[in-house]
Amino acid sequence: MLGSLDDFNKILQIGVKESPAAAAAGAGSYSAAAVADATAAISGYKKGTGDELVVYQKVSIGTGAQAGNPWLQELPDPISKATWDNYALISVTKSKELGITLNADHEYYPEKPVLEITVGGTTMKLPCLVIPGMNANTIAVALGYGRNEETGKAAAGVGQNAYQFTSYNGSNVEYHVTGVSVKNTGSKYKIAQTQIHNSYEGRIEVLRETTMATFKKEPNVIPEWREELKEEYHNNANGDFNEATLYPQHDQPGLKWGMNIDLNSCTGCGACVVACHAENNVPVVGKREVLRYHDMHWLRIDRYFVSDATDKDPDNLKGVVFQPMLCQHCDNAPCENVCPVAATNHSMEGINQMAYNRCIGTRYCANNCPFKVRRFNWADYTGADSFKNNQDQSLVGKLDDVIFQMNDDLTRMVLNPDVTVRSRGVMEKCTFCVQKLQSAKLDAKKAGTVLPDGSAKTACQTACATNAIVFGNIHDKESAINKVREENDQRKFYVLEQLHVLPSISYLAKVRNTDEVIEGKHHVAGEKHEGMPASTKPEETH
Amino acid sequence: MSLLRYESQVRPALVEGDKDYHQVTEDICRPVEAKPSKLWWTGFLISVLMLVFGIVSVTMEVMYGTGQWNLGKTIGWGWDITNFVWWVGIGHAGTLISAILLLFRQGWRTGVNRAAEAMTIFAVICAGQFPIWHMGRVWNAFFVLPYPNTRGPLWVNFNSPLLWDVFAISTYFTVSLLFWYSGLIPDLATLRDRAKKKWRKVFYGVAAFGWTGSTKHWQRHEALSLVLAGLSTPLVLSVHTIVSFDFATSVVPGWHTTIFPPYFVAGAIFSGFAMVQTLLVVTRKVLGLQEYITLEHIEVMNKVIVLTGSIVGIAYLTELFMAWYSHVDYEWFAFKENRVNLFSPYGWSYWIMMGCNVLSPQIFWFRKMRRNLVVTFFMSILVNIGMWFERFVIIVTSVYRDYLPSSWSTYYRPTIWEVGFYMGTFGLFFTCYFLFSKFFPVIAIAEIKHILKRSGGNFKDKMGGIEVETVNQFGDKHLHEH
């Protein structure tokens, strides 16, 4: 059907499957009549008044068929970073029209303005999220919400049903509608987002992204910067790296696990986040707890909007960068030295590990983690606690029903028996799926071989559709992880490398495929916004 | 040799009025021996109610988890550790007064040391509640103690500043308690000897450890005081230094600062003296002890407040300057945007801190203000508010927006149980203080007697004559007495 492998690759490349018959019939021929017809058809297309409303499927919930899955309800949307809701996405321009002030309060408080959207006879009140880069007059609402009890406990009562905005034109269901009128009702509604700040503030140590043209012009910016940093450290440490830290270096005689994440490949879909939930028994906490910043994702995807601070049009978005963020398994980990009871420590394979039984929950490790990847069991999310009736709090921190759904005897059967279920008051975080690594090592031992590269895989790596995550033993010179790192030296960076925490995860910079050349030392779009938080620029959301 | 105990007339008297040894005992024991007043009962009951509220708050937190507080993945410490540092800081004035001032032979300490030391102990008890109950699994709190165990044995992490805290705070509490109690023993014996009721005889008899007032007892008592003063003196500096390490040794911008130890110690003494003022301005009035805790004492302590307040002010400006001068973007952001920027989410707290701690104490450059009780009381409250905000600013405004902008957090507001826990420690503190002021002499009787003939007002007046005498006149008058 698709022909040879070459043909298939070609189709993928150009994105269209050309019909050989059609190509033979009128390949390349210009027909003025056909163009005129097309123009007429376009101009004849009914022009609506007012705004256009687009109904779309979220990556997590889809048409609504997946609405009953708590993992997917709690998976933050790749762009909006919101959980447990649907909402109207509007542009910055539109928000100004509606009189929404995008100041610090708008960013920091979860209460978002509620819009009244009227299409024909249908009126719906939906909270809105302002997303730069939206078309000025387009409003987008996700499908699959507003389900009833029969759909399942997780889906019931979450969001509102946007199918009312779709229509049937005789042959197709139309997922967009024009002539929409929007009104700001003045009331507010809480949306649980896992990330509220949208810009990386020009912090090049956190995130490296550039354009193709810039990268071609000066491909060695990152390695040169890293070299400078190293030299500086070397000099400050009396010419001996071991002296750059007070603590002794870890001895890693055998394996040393490392990961590489290619930001160019990452689409932000969140499959890795859900895979991590499933593999590691990461609890679902429900909307109320996400609102209180108690979400438990071991692995999250940081999403940053890239736009030019000097650009007059705030909706002129240059790009979106997704950065999967998980425990960096630092070899000089700031979390390890602050734990009074040594509950978090370093394994001989370079894994920063948690001894849950030992943890007393001082939360110092989480405060001291520059990547903020540690997650604390603020309440008894798993029902694993020995305290009786400790999930019935009513005054403060009431838990959502979905937590209990995940605790019942049947649902508990989804738990991975190889992974401890954590109790309340314990810190947890990414383990590099140590149980999977262990099983791979045992398999190799049984087979009497050296651990073959690629046999130990993390859950996030397995789930990644674009192979953005590469994982392996960095002591194995032939391993894929080492190859990726070597081959991509010009894009390779470690997050916050200047802190000398020595992360085990490397990232490959995002290169946006545009011809724009970014000037300036560090090639940050719009140059460095000299520490500009949203609070000082009330008109900015990005 | 009473004649060698001469003190210049330039120095103001430390005990006013016409006092002799007996009168001193009478004055200070009166509140202990009298029936508690209505005022005392009112204050005591309010304190107990607050304590009960605190116990309920902590119970909720232990039962349902730390989620009963509004902390989150970005702000892991909030009111809990703020209150901890605040209370520990308050304790420091007591130790400074009892230990360092004893070594420096500052006579004025005798009027205030007993109450200040008691304050230290109660403040440290309150402080200790926070690191204990803020743990997610408090029932395993004993894991922080390094003792041989059957779990491996599993040892504690000596690299962790939190472990240093365990040692620092427990040592501090132990030494302070011993110091305070050993000072109390002669006075407890006095109360025992004056006791008319059976229970008082038994209670004070047991408490006085069989003190007879023999020379040998006094000699040992003095020696012990000196030893404990010597042990306490480094603690004045070390305890808050170690508390500051909780922050200084971290990597969080705004915490990772070498200036913290001296800055914290100065702040601790500053807030401690403010708390001493708050308590003593009221205590001296209610118990009628104005002749022992004189305006002189109040003024001297106000001088300490303006000095330490200014040191703290310099520290604030220095860290701000260094944040800029260091060219570390993250550090500068923490200061410029998270703190100094008044319109940032927590900007207001920084400026409350600056106003209360740096600007307002400057009023004490004026003698009239230093000796004004209303101003002193008001200022002492203001300083304590300011010092609470200092810890809040350090803790919360550093972590809520640190390295990764993706993790910047929402506003942190305490829940009712967080506020309740803090209120509860006030309840605990004042319950202890009310009991202390009822059952123990709030001024060290023995120590007042020690300075009475040198610094007591009437004795000084009598001695004033010496200053106009010639040597021969002096000799004629006094030498033949012996």
Contact A104 B140 (CB under 8 A): no
Mean pLDDT of A112-124: 89
Closest CA to A376 of A426, A430, A325, A420: A426
Mean pLDDT of B404-421: 91
> Is residue B44 a contact partner of residue B431, using CB atoms and an 8 Å limit?
yes
Contact B77 A367 (CB under 8 A): yes
Please tell me which of the candidates A294, A362, A533 has its beta carbon nearest to residue B73: A294
Q: Which residues of A touch B337 (CB under 8 A)?
A: 531, 533, 535-536
- For chain A, the domains span 51-193, 209-512
Q: Closest Cα of chain A to B137: distance in Å?
A: 5
B270 within some domain: yes
Contact B131 A362 (CB under 8 A): yes
B445-455 helix and B21-33 helix, angle to the nearest 10 degrees: 150
Closest CA to B168 of B95, B268, B231, B235: B235
B182 touches chain A (CB under 8 A): no
Q: Which residues of B touch A83 (CB under 8 A)?
A: none
Closest CA to A474 of A495, A453, A449: A453
B402 → chain A, closest CA residue? A370
Label residue A532 by pLDDT band (50, 70, 90). very low
Residues above pLDDT 70, as percent of chain B: 98
Contact B136 A360 (CB under 8 A): yes
Mean pLDDT of B231-239: 89
Structural domain harbouring B264:
2-146+165-462
Q: Which residues of B touch A535 (CB under 8 A)?
A: 337, 341, 343-345
Label residue A520 by pLDDT band (50, 70, 90). low
Per-residue model confidence (pLDDT) at position B358? 93
B169 touches chain A (CB under 8 A): no
Q: Which residues of A touch B81 (CB under 8 A)?
A: none
Closest CA to A165 of A179, A151, A154, A152: A179
Q: Which of A137-146, A259-268, A432-441, B464-473 has the weakest average pLDDT?
A: B464-473
Contact B417 A396 (CB under 8 A): yes
Please tell me which of the candidates B63, B68, B250 has its beta carbon nearest to residue A334: B250
Residue A453 has pLDDT above 80, yes or no: yes
> Which element (helix H / strand E) includes A242?
none
What does the block give as tokens for A252?
């890693």
Q: Which residues of A touch B169 (CB under 8 A)?
A: none
Label residue A526 by pLDDT band (50, 70, 90). very low
Q: Which residues of B touch A391 (CB under 8 A)?
A: 64
Label residue A516 by pLDDT band (50, 70, 90). confident
Cα B126 to chain centroid distance, Å, stands at 11
Q: Highest-confidence range of B49-58, B297-306, B405-414, by mean pLDDT? A: B49-58
* Greater pLDDT, A153 or A287: A287
Mean pLDDT of A317-332: 92
Residue A389 has pLDDT above 90, yes or no: no
Q: State the DSSP code for A244.
A: G
A248 touches chain B (CB under 8 A): no
How far is CA A15 from each of CA A7, A22, B341, rounded to the nearest angstrom?
Answer: 12, 17, 50
B405 → chain A, closest CA residue? A200
Looking at the domain that runs over A209-512, which CATH code has it been given?
3.30.70.20
Q: Which of A20-34, A59-73, A414-428 has the weakest average pLDDT?
A: A20-34
B140 touches chain A (CB under 8 A): yes
Mean pLDDT of B263-285: 91
pLDDT in tens, A8-48: 888 888 888 777 666 566 556 677 888 888 888 777 666 65
Q: State the DSSP code for A231.
A: H
B322 within some domain: yes
A26 touches chain B (CB under 8 A): no
Q: Closest Cα of chain B to A107: distance in Å?
A: 8
ipTM value: 0.89
Q: Which of A331-335, A384-388, A419-423, B427-431 has the weakest average pLDDT?
A: A384-388
CA-based diameter of chain A, in Å? 80
Q: Which residues of A touch B63 (CB under 8 A)?
A: 387, 390
Structurally, at CATH architecture level, domain A51-193 sits in Beta Barrel (2.40)
Q: Which CATH number covers residue B131?
A: 1.20.1630.10
Q: Which of A234-238, A334-338, B381-385 has the weakest average pLDDT?
A: A234-238
Contact B137 A294 (CB under 8 A): no
Please tell me which of the candidates A197, A292, A396 has its beta carbon nearest to residue B408: A197
Contact A292 B72 (CB under 8 A): yes
Residue A530 has pLDDT above 50, yes or no: no
Burial label, A254 (beta-carbon count in 10 A; 0-12, 13-18, 19+): exposed
Which of B57, B58, B73 should one mutate to test binding to chain A, selecting the residue with the greatest count of A CBs within 10 A?
B73
Mean pLDDT of B3-30: 79
B161-194 helix and B109-133 helix, angle to the nearest 10 degrees: 130
CA trace torsion A107, A110, A113, A114 (10° rounding): 150
**What is the pLDDT of chain B when averaged over all its residues?**
89
B416 touches chain A (CB under 8 A): yes
Please tell me which of the candidates A108, A203, A339 has its beta carbon nearest to residue B411: A108
Per-residue model confidence (pLDDT) at position A538? 37
B75 → chain A, closest CA residue? A367
B166 touches chain A (CB under 8 A): yes
Contact A372 B403 (CB under 8 A): yes
Residues above pLDDT 90, as percent of chain A: 49
Please say whether the dihedral angle defined by the alpha carbons of residues B319, B325, B331 and B332, taken in this order, is positive or negative. Answer: positive
Q: Which residues of A touch B341 (CB under 8 A)?
A: 533, 535-536
Q: Which of A272-276, B90-94, B472-476 has the weakest average pLDDT?
A: B472-476
Give the angle B74-B78-B79 at the CA atoms, nearest 5°: 165
B159 within some domain: no
pLDDT in tens, A437-449: 999 999 999 999 9
B210 within some domain: yes
Q: Which residues of A touch B134 (CB under 8 A)?
A: 362-363
| Secondary structure of residue A125 in the 3-state scheme | strand
Residues 6 or more apart from A162 whose CB is under 8 A from it? A55, A86, A124, A141, A142, A143, A145, A146
A379 → chain B, closest CA residue? B65
Q: Which residues of B touch A305 (CB under 8 A)?
A: none
Per-residue model confidence (pLDDT) at position A316? 82
What does the block give as tokens for B404?
């990764």
What CA–CA distance (Å, rounded) separates B291 from B16? 5
What CA–CA distance (Å, rounded) separates A139 from A151? 27
Please tell me which of the candidates A109, A303, A396 has its beta carbon nearest to residue B416: A396
Residues above pLDDT 70, as percent of chain A: 92
For chain A, positions 298-317, list CB contacts with chain B under 8 A: 300, 302-304
Per-residue model confidence (pLDDT) at position B184? 92
A197 touches chain B (CB under 8 A): yes
For chain A, positions 484-503, list CB contacts with chain B under 8 A: 495-496, 499, 501
- Cβ pairs bridging A and B (under 8 Å): 218
Per-residue model confidence (pLDDT) at position A541? 39
What does the block give as tokens for A475?
């002591």
Q: Closest Cα of chain A to B243: distance in Å?
A: 13
Contact A376 B136 (CB under 8 A): yes
Contact B160 A368 (CB under 8 A): no
B340 touches chain A (CB under 8 A): no
Q: How many domains in chain B? A: 1
Q: Which residues of B touch A196 (CB under 8 A)?
A: 408-410
B251 touches chain A (CB under 8 A): yes
Mean pLDDT of A405-426: 88
A335 → chain B, closest CA residue? B250
For chain B, positions 262-291, list CB contacts with chain A under 8 A: none
Residue B410 has pLDDT above 80, yes or no: no
Phi, psi of A307 (to 5 degrees): -145, 165
Residue B384 has pLDDT above 90, yes or no: yes
Q: Closest Cα of chain A to B126: distance in Å?
A: 18
Please tell me which of the candidates A203, A395, A535 has its beta carbon nearest to residue B344: A535
Per-residue model confidence (pLDDT) at position A531? 37
